[in-house]
Copies of this chain bind each other. A is one copy, B any other.
Amino acid sequence: MTSAAPILAVGSVAFDSVETPFGKAHEVLGGSAVYFSTSASYFAPVRVVGVVGDDFPPDALAFLDGRPVDLSGLVRKPGRTFRWVGRYGFDLNEATTLDTQLNVFADFKPELPEAFRDTPYVFLGNIDPDLQADVLDQVRSPRLVAADTMNFWISGKLDALRRVLARVDLLLINEAEARQLAGEANLVKAARAIRAMGPKILIVKRGEYGALMFHGEGVFAAPGYLLEAVFDPTGAGDTFAGGVLGFLAREGRLDEPTLRRAIVAGGVMASFNVEAFSLDRLKALAPGDISARYEAFRRLCSFEALG
């Protein structure tokens, strides 16, 4: 852990109200920066940039005490913290947003503390692409820039998104959004089109079906984990990204075998996250949980040569 390079994480800090077929959670801690940082902190130090309102309880992030998460870039502003209200049906693959209250997030202007500007790994959470660009303007020669985005920005701010993508090394995106961004139904062709926009590494998230990585000339298909009880998929994508970036920052390499292991590490973290509401499972991982689940992923999809 001590040798892992730090990661800068920019994104939302939120209170989520979530309803799934298995229960309800009211105004529980969430947001892309929180899920990402908690997940990544099992592998590498994280520096968080974000905003909360003056209603944000001082102890809401106390579970991060003792973990390598630097919250000095998390500013408190007058007003209410970002709220999201959503519901999932039985397939748990897509949330229906019932309400979004940006609150203090509406005027969010990421400002990096001077000590954050040389962070080698950067994760741009799913926020306005113009804000993602503002963050990149403030960091000096990062080793790896990773970003997430969504259909809202693809439809509404495509030009700004394209300008950011030209500066991004690793893009994480949902399968349907990859098709939308490329304007192409076939994933192999869509991946080629997206990578021509900038990102050398493209990770396509497929929910319960796992993830694909397009890198160099090859493709990697990581399996999804099979759980008997999936409670709440909220934050799974950011938790996945936290595992991927955390692992890469820990290893300090970007070769194909390391990238593949990083994606499985991301899947491992996401598989824990969906087992409970909010960060209840993710924040309570014991030593050995991660490596045991990683080995379970290996058993899940290993097979021998044809013979």
Residues of A within 8 A of B (CB): 21, 90-91, 185-189, 206, 209-210, 212, 218-224, 226-230, 257, 260-261, 263-265, 290-291, 294-295, 298-307
Is A304 within 8 A of B209, CB to CB?
no
**In the assembly, how many copies of this chain are there?**
2
The 7 closest A-B pairs by CB, nearest first: A260-B303, A221-B223, A188-B228, A90-B185, A209-B209, A294-B306, A221-B301
Q: Which residue of B lies closest to A264 (CB)?
A: B303
Is B260 within 8 A of A304, CB to CB?
yes
Q: Which residue of B lies closest to A306 (CB)?
A: B294
Quick one: which of B21, B209, B210, B218 contacts A299, CB cutoff 8 A?
B218
Interfacial chain B residues near A189, Cβ < 8 Å: 228
Is B228 within 8 A of A303, CB to CB?
no
CA distance A263 to B294 in the complex (A): 23
Interfacial chain B residues near A307, Cβ < 8 Å: 261
Interfacial chain B residues near A304, Cβ < 8 Å: 257, 260-261
Is A300 within 8 A of B261, CB to CB?
no
Q: Which residue of B lies closest to A298 (CB)?
A: B305
**A–B Cβ pairs within 8 angstroms, 18 of them:** A90-B185, A188-B226, A188-B228, A206-B209, A209-B209, A209-B210, A219-B226, A222-B301, A222-B303, A257-B303, A260-B302, A260-B304, A261-B305, A261-B307, A263-B303, A294-B305, A298-B305, A301-B301
Interfacial chain B residues near A302, Cβ < 8 Å: 260
Interfacial chain B residues near A229, Cβ < 8 Å: 186
Interfacial chain B residues near A224, Cβ < 8 Å: 221
Quick one: which of B90, B187, B219, B299 contacts A300, CB cutoff 8 A?
B219
Interfacial chain B residues near A206, Cβ < 8 Å: 209
Q: Which residue of B lies closest to A262 (CB)?
A: B303
Q: Which residue of B lies closest to A300 (CB)?
A: B221
Quick one: which of B187, B210, B212, B291 contacts A306, CB cutoff 8 A?
B291
Quick one: which of B210, B228, B294, B301 contacts A220, CB cutoff 8 A?
B301
Is B188 within 8 A of A303, CB to CB?
no
Interfacial chain B residues near A263, Cβ < 8 Å: 303
Is A261 within 8 A of B219, CB to CB?
no
Is B265 within 8 A of A306, CB to CB?
yes
Is A186 within 8 A of B220, CB to CB?
no
CA distance A295 to B303 in the complex (A): 11
